């Protein structure tokens, strides 16, 4: 049995044209061909659970500045 999509409330704020794909135990939310969000809720490494925002490196500093202490991880 497949696990339900975590953090389903995000769908209330997204357009209906999104596509959700499950890979590597996470749910990837696409708008067109671009990944917009990644939803992760797993028992292993719970500190990595949450709603991941897919962005380019050029936006990392401003996100860190505007959202300090949120535990945002920036890997690209």
Cα separation, 55 vs 67, in Å, equals 14
Cα separation, 20 vs 5, in Å, equals 9
Whether residue 51 has pLDDT greater than 60: yes
Cα separation, 56 vs 42, in Å, equals 25
pTM of the predicted structure, to 2 decimals: 0.80
Share of the chain above pLDDT 90, in %: 50
Domain ranges of the chain: 8-66
pLDDT of residue 61: 83
Phi, psi of 30 (to 5 degrees): -110, 145
pLDDT of residue 76: 43
């Amino acid at each position: 049995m497949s696990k339900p999509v975590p953090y389903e409330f995000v769908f209330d704020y997204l357009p209906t044209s999104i596509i959700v794909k499950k890979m590597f135990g996470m749910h990837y939310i696409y708008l067109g061909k671009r990944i917009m969000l990644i939803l992760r809720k797993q028992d292993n490494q719970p500190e990595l659970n949450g709603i991941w925002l897919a962005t380019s490196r050029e936006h990392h500093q401003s996100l860190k500045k505007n959202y300090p202490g949120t535990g945002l991880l920036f890997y690209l």
